[in-house]
Amino acid sequence: MNNYVSREMIIYLFNEVGLEESSIELGIKLAIKKNTPLPILLWSYGMLTIEELDKLYSFLFKKMDQ
């Protein structure tokens, strides 16, 4: 993977947020094309609410501490 997305992030988006695989794939492609972090891109396109974005970043920061 690249620096825009991690395996843990994809699993979280699919299992916890409930995004469909096709939405995640589109988000990854756009994130790479626009040079934007995936969570911010998903939020800016309305695929994540601000609350879901906050929970995603909390999850990712906890993963980094482990």
pLDDT at 18 exceeding the cut of 80 = yes
Q: What is the DSSP string of 23-60?
A: HHHHHHHHHHHHT--HHHHHHHTTSS-HHHHHHHHHHH
Give pTM, 2 decimals: 0.86
pLDDT at 16 exceeding the cut of 50 = yes
The phi, psi pair for 9, rounded to 5°, reads -65, -45
pLDDT in tens, 20-54: 999 999 999 999 999 999 999 999 999 999 999 99
pLDDT of 1 reads: 46
pLDDT at 5 exceeding the cut of 80 = no
